[in-house]
Each structure stands twice: as C-alpha cells, then as structure tokens.
Structure 1
Amino acid sequence: MRRLIQAAAVTAAFGIVLGQTPFALAAHDKGEWWFNSWHIEEQVWPQTKGAGITVAVLDTGVNASLPGLKDAVVPGTDFAGGDGRRDQDTDSSTGGHGTAMASFIASSGKGTGYMGVAPSAKILPIFTRGNVPKEMAEAIRYGADHGAKVMNISQGPVASSFPNQCPPEVASALAYAAKKDMVVVASAGNEGDSTNSPEYPASCPGALAVGAIDHTGKPWARSQRQDYVTVAAPGAGMTAVGKDGRLYDNGNGTSDAAALTSGAIALLRSKYPDMTARRAVQVIVGSVKDLDGPGKNNVTGYGVVSVRQALANKVPESAPNPVYEKLDKAGAAAPKGSGSTGTAPEKTDDKKSSSNTLLYVGIGVVVIAVLVIGGVVVMRRGKGKNGGGPSAPPPAPTGPPSFGQGQPQQSPYQGGQQPPAGYGQPGNGAPQFQPPTSGQEPRQ
C-alpha cells in the first residue's frame, strides 16, 4: 500500500487531478486501483456480482482453504497425473499463481478484506503443467463440459514452432469451447520489450487475448506486442492474495489482466444469463475505451476493457467480433457429431467410396451364405444329439472386445512433482509477485 500511496503523491505533484484521469490510482484500502477505474463498487456491483457463473481457472491450482476463496472454489481436476483434484496451489513460488488469479476474480474479502471483481462467481480450478498442448486441450474441454461460462488461461508457452502459431489440439479444443458456449480468455505474454514471441493459447483462434496497462491507462512496458492482442486490462502495480493467504503487492503481468477480464465477463454473463459466449466477447470488445490512440494496435488491441460500458449492453449486433471472426475464418468451426477430437470427418473420394461399398456388400453376401450353410449343419448335428431340442447358447464373453482398445498412455508427470522451472516466470503471462520488503510485515 505504501508504494501505491507514494505513486499517488507523485501524480498529484505533477498537477494531475486523480479523479479526472482515465485510469486514476485509487485509494482502495487493499491497493486494488482497478476498482475505482472500473467503478466496481458504486456502479457495477449494484447490477451484478457474478452470481450463477463458474469461471474455470487453468493454472497451478487454487488454495481452497483460504477464507476468501473457500466458498467460491468448486472441486476441480488435474491433467498432469496428480490426485485428480486441485484445491491446493502447487506453484513453488512464494505467491502462488493460481490462487492469485482466483483472488482477482472471486475473492470474497474474508480474512484479508481483498475482493475479487466478481465475488459471487464460482472458481473451477484445473491444473496443467502449462507447456503441454495435450493437457491444455483436455483442460479446455473439461471446463466446457463442466459448466464453466468463462475460462481464464494465464499461461503462455511459445507458439512459434506450431502451424499457424497454435498447437492443433488446442485449436480444436477452442472450437469445442465455442460450441459449448464458453469464453476463453488468455494472457498475451510478458516479453513485449524483449523476445516478444507469440504465445498460445492467446495466439490461437477463439481465444480473447489480453494485454496489460498501468494505473494511468498506459501500456505496461513488457506487455506483448502481437497482432493477436484484442483488448487490455489492469496488469501493473497489482495486489493479490497469495497461496499462504497473505497479500502481495507490486505484481505485474498480463496474467493479472486476463484474470480481471475473465471476472468482467463473469459479471456480464451473470447480468445477462441468456447472453452467448460469442455475444459476450462482441460486447466486451465493442465497449472498450481507446486510451492508446485511435484504432487497433498490437499492445492494447482495440482498447481497454470497460466493465460499466459492457454492462450497458449497447453494442450493436452488427458490430465486429474479431475473436470469433478469426475462429470462423480459420475453419475451426464447432465440432460435428460427438467425437472427442472436435474435428470434422475426413472427406472421402466418391469413386473409392462407391467401390468400397460394393466390395463390402459382396463380402457380406458371402459371409451370410457361409453362416446359413453352417447353421444348417449345426441344426442337423443338434437334432442327432438332442432329439431336435435347442442347441446350447454360446458362452458369454469373458473380456472386452478386441477392437477400440489400447494401452493407456502414462503421463511423464507424477504426483508431488512441481511444474517445469520456467513456469511462473516472465514471458509466460505470469505475474511477478514480490514478497514484502525486508523489515515490513505482509499486510493482513
């Protein structure tokens, strides 16, 4: 809090009236300056607090025992070979990445006084290692199948080596999520001032990619500069709840911005329960504040998320919807049928198909003839042994059919191990939470 107060004093010294700046530093008692910027307490919460909406948090898990989160967290799961439920935060860092993201979204304020922007929403924690496409794809599908209306993915592995900068299985999962009416929000990345590599799933069709701004409305220096960035949200000079239940300040990252955007969408879909995922994204993008110059750019996208304007729901139905337009253009349409891959069936050659059909019919005729002849022989034998009585029924099957079975793949991850060393470090959308400086007690 001391750092925030000092920053406010410096701003005032330069003659800027805080109440008139677009994203002024608020004197919130827990350092949550975005509450003032987004008019959360006085204009948003009277309309909605996120009730009825589940936000899936694909991350390091969430410490569900904390007073501010225990009522929000519902049983989650683990796609990295652990215990199948993630009500604990496995992050090896002091802060606890997944818990921090959940606190931005739905902390109730119990224990610390720290509030999420959608404190009545639920959190579905899903644990993956963050850099395994198969796990991420499974996690996205899991969230979509378990009632989540929003999924927050504050992770960002490098996407350069994949076709179209997106692992195919992740692209397919995002298409599945769209069909299941779940918005997927992803952090843009934290290396905009250095390598600036594209990162997935932000780079994938169907993901709402979020960059970060500071309390003055300016882009955070390290926020990724990529054409996939769609919107921006608060992500610099942040305070959040750590996995140990303490408050940590001076956090920076597009992870934070993505989490707050997920919370904003939870508020929107709570107020309008019948609003589709496609429409929700259209409204969020169409109601932004353009604080970084006219038109779209690669840092803040189309502009900064405005919760108040989004809740007004005045964006025309004909307004652009770049996230879903990209999804449609990429051909990642909603999956057909009930297959788990989310991809359309392969097209077959008509001539080959006709030939194969005739071949199968011919084989079928031969098989039927053999069965009929064999049946006559069996009946004759049966009459000779049983005096015309019915033959004995065939033995019951003793095991699973031989088709469609395979050996389960063993995960290289074993319970108790930690994610790779790079997880939670600058460059993958993770905030850099700093413990209180020497001589200072963490704020309670």
Structure 2
Amino acid sequence: MKQQIKERPWALQRIVFDRLWQSTKGRDADGRAVRVAVIDTGVDRANPQLTDAVETKSGRDFLGKGDGTDPRAPKDGTYDPVGHGTKVAGIIAARPRAGTGFVGLAPEATVIPLRQNDEKGTGNVGTLTAAIEAAVAAGADIINISQDTTQPVPADSRLAQAVREARRKNIVVVASAGNDGVDGRLKKTYPASYPGVLAVASSDRNNERAAFSQRGDFIGVAAPGVDMVSTVPKGGQCVDNGTSFSAPYVAGIAALLRAKHRDWKEYQIVAQIEQTAERSVNGRDSFVGWGVVDPVRALTEDDHPLDHASADDGPPRAAPPDPVTPVDGETPQDRRERYATYGVGAGGVAVAVIVGVAVVRRDLRSRAAASATPAAPAAGQVNE
C-alpha cells in the first residue's frame, strides 16, 4: 500500500495559503488554467492528486516504446516507472486530498507531461530539444526542466535555440541548478545557465544553501529542496531531496503569477520571483542567487511589473521564523554534515540524458528509502 503523509510538509508550513491563493490557485480571470510543461521521466496520472491535473492530449513520450520493451506503454507522457517526473509534477499542481497535508503550490494549474528521459539515460539532446519544442507548440505558459549537465552546451546548439524560442513565445523557463555542489566549486550547468532561464538552487529549513546544491553566478533563486514531500506513481507520497524538487516549487509560484498577470512578460515574472525572495545580503550571491523564494510576497507585493531584480537599499530582509522544530541537539556543523550526505549518497538510481557530450545525472531515489543524489556527469558520450 502506498504511503500517504498526513502532516503538512515543512516547505509548505511557512506559507499562509489564504494569502497565497487570495487571487488565484492557477486559473486566470477568464477561468483558463495555466499550463506547465514538465519535461522529465513522465507523469503518472494514476496518483489521485494528479488525475485531474494532467492533460493527456498534449502529452508526449519521446522514448519510443515506453521503457524500450513494452509497446503497451501510452504515448501521452503518463508512463513513469521511475517516479521522478511524478514528484516534480506534484510539487507544482497536486490537488488537495483528504488525509494528507501535501498539496501543490498551484493546485488548479494544468500539467503537460513530456517524457524524454529515464533511469537508463535514454534521452539525448534531440529528445530534450523536441520536448521543449513540443511544450511551445502545446501552448505552455511555464516549462520546468529538472535536469542538468556541467558540460558546456554552446549558445548555437539546438538546445539553446529551443530555450530562446520558448522565451520568445513568452514562456517562463525554470531549471534546476544541479546537485554537484558538495565540492563548493563554482561551475555552470545547462540549461539552467542559459540567459533568461530561472536557475533554482536548493535551500534547507534554515534558508541556507543545501550542501549538495550547485553554486554559480547564474543562480537566480533558491527554494526548499531538502526532505521534500511529493506524489509518486499509482498513489501516495514519498520524501526526496535535490534541486529537481526546488525547481518545481518555483515553477508553481510562476504559474500563480502567470494566472494573476497574463499581461506580464516572462522576464517580469522571473524578476518578481527574484525581487521578493528572502535575502541574507543586499544583492545576488552564488549560493542562493537573489535569495530564498517567498511565495506569498511574490503574489502580494506585485502592484507593478519589474524588468529585472535589483539590490535593496536598506538592511537585508530577515528570513521568516522557521516553524519546524530542528533536529534535537543538532549544531550548525552537524546540519552541514547531514546535508552533505545528500550529495555523496551511494547506491541511488540516476537518470541520465545525453546533452552535447555529457551525461546528465538526476536525483531519483525516494528519501523514504534512502537519501541519494546523482554522481558527477561523465564525459565521452556522443549525442548525435
């Protein structure tokens, strides 16, 4: 039997939902649902919290016969034996359900499932590009990409061109920053570091960068990425870690902003999320970008659009009190060491996608079973 987590997850305890949803839960003034493309390992709509959220008409599976062996697998992107994409989709748009405190940030938004990857690394630059192009053709408002590579993918690549076209069509592109940050080195990941993409790092319960979260000057914001609750295939929920689950947290906020402000440009939605983030410095840094996202501030301090985020004039904004009880007796050093294990956990299942000459690793294993994040990308793979 699938586990259903009764309590409100810590990453949602900070949100006053009456304020967050006072204008919208993911539908605009005309009743149209914001459409969020989830480019991932598929989205299993058999989970009751996702059944009404997933649109099969625009869904696509770019991996051939499902898992490569089963010709009965549907071609609408709803086949997800890995579970990664189903978790991502739940954080964005899971519907409320009796018996659980978990719900998506935009529970009236629509998810477009675009399956282009699996645990075998079947996806490649062609399938990833095709998925982005399909999202544009389907009329997506937001695109969430929870995968990355540290190997350079140049500006004239098919992938970069697809991202530029999405932005030209006024689509907000959100991407995870990556989980190779334990070594502390600054390095770019792709597609997160392409211009205009909102790159999302992971934060912990103390609004600090999670140890596994990639550092870099391209980071836009951080969002909760430790002990994240979300939906799993067939039903129920699990707990997992990684920037893969921080990105959809931000995509959910972007979906609410798009529903409320249909006239805003994609870069204005990005700027709003960055400008209203909780900061520890008056500006941007390589750990959490402009700060840790504040969903309520993003949706309530929005009287006019911004073209870009800017440094504050006064002292840094204080982070909101954390209502979650910390681990008993845990010191800051203990916490750093605990989170560091998320970046070096062994035995986890990884999703790989060939982009350029790199293998993209993704965090897939349920935290309920064991914490694990992907290994560093391997070079030497040829894409096309």
Q: Which runs of 5+ in 1 are unaligned?
A: 1-27, 323-420, 438-444
Q: What residue number does 1:47 align with?
A: 23
* RMSD (CA atoms): 2.6
Q: Shift of the alpha carbon at 1:69?
A: 0.6
Q: Shift of the alpha carbon at 1:247?
A: 1.9
Q: Residues 31-180 of structure 1: matches in 2 within 5 Å?
A: 31-39=8-16, 41-51=17-27, 52-75=33-56, 76-82=59-65, 84-91=75-82, 96-110=83-97, 113=100, 114-129=102-117, 132-160=124-152, 162-163=153-154, 168-180=157-169
CA–CA separation in structure 1 for the residues paired with 2:46 and 2:156: 35
Aligned residues of 2:182 and 2:212 also touching (Cα < 8 A) = yes
**1:202 aligned residue (192, 197, 204):** 192
Counterpart amino acid of residue 205 in structure 1: P
**Aligned: 1:435 with 2:368:** yes
* TM-score (normalised: structure 1): 0.63
CA–CA separation in structure 1 for the residues paired with 2:196 and 2:306: 19
Q: What residue number does 2:247 align with?
A: 258
Aligned residues of 1:34 and 1:234 also touching (Cα < 8 A) = yes
Select the structure of larger CA radius of gyration: 1
Counterpart amino acid of residue 92 in structure 2: I
Counterpart amino acid of residue 105 in structure 1: I
2:351 is paired with a residue of what secondary structure? coil
Q: What residue number does 1:412 align with?
A: none
Query: Residues 189 and 225 (structure 1 numbering): CA distance in 2 closer, same or farther, change over 3 Å?
Result: same
1:309 is paired with a residue of what secondary structure? helix
Q: Deviations over 1:181-207 (max 9, x none)?
A: 111100000010138553211122231
2:113 is paired with a residue of what secondary structure? strand
Aligned residues of 2:179 and 2:242 also touching (Cα < 8 A) = yes
Counterpart amino acid of residue 112 in structure 2: L
CA–CA separation in structure 1 for the residues paired with 2:94 and 2:271: 27
Q: Which runs of 5+ in 2 are unaligned?
A: 28-32, 66-73, 311-348, 354-358, 371-384
Query: Residues 233 and 167 (structure 1 numbering): CA distance in 2 closer, same or farther, change over 3 Å?
Result: farther
Q: What residue number does 1:215 align with?
A: 205
**Aligned: 1:30 with 2:21:** no
Aligned residues of 1:31 and 1:238 also touching (Cα < 8 A) = no
Q: Deviations over 1:168-221 (max 9, x none)?
A: 111101110011111110000001013855321112223110001011211101
CA–CA separation in structure 1 for the residues paired with 2:146 and 2:168: 22
Q: Deviations over 1:18-58 (max 9, x none)?
A: xxxxxxxxxx943422222232x231122211122011000
Aligned residues of 2:196 and 2:267 also touching (Cα < 8 A) = no
Query: Residues 424 and 169 (structure 1 numbering): CA distance in 2 closer, same or farther, change over 3 Å?
Result: closer
* Higher helix content, 1 or 2: 1
Counterpart amino acid of residue 246 in structure 2: A
Q: What residue number does 1:383 align with?
A: none
Q: What residue number does 2:382 align with?
A: none
Q: What residue number does 2:267 align with?
A: 278
CA–CA separation in structure 2 for the residues paired with 1:427 and 1:84: 23
Counterpart amino acid of residue 185 in structure 1: V
Q: What residue number does 2:256 align with?
A: 267
Aligned residue-pair number: 302
Q: Deviations over 1:231-282 (max 9, x none)?
A: 1111112111211312212x21111110110001011111222222122112
Identity of aligned residues (%): 33
Q: Deviations over 1:135-155 (max 9, x none)?
A: 211111111121210011001
2:45 is paired with a residue of what secondary structure? coil
Counterpart amino acid of residue 159 in structure 2: V
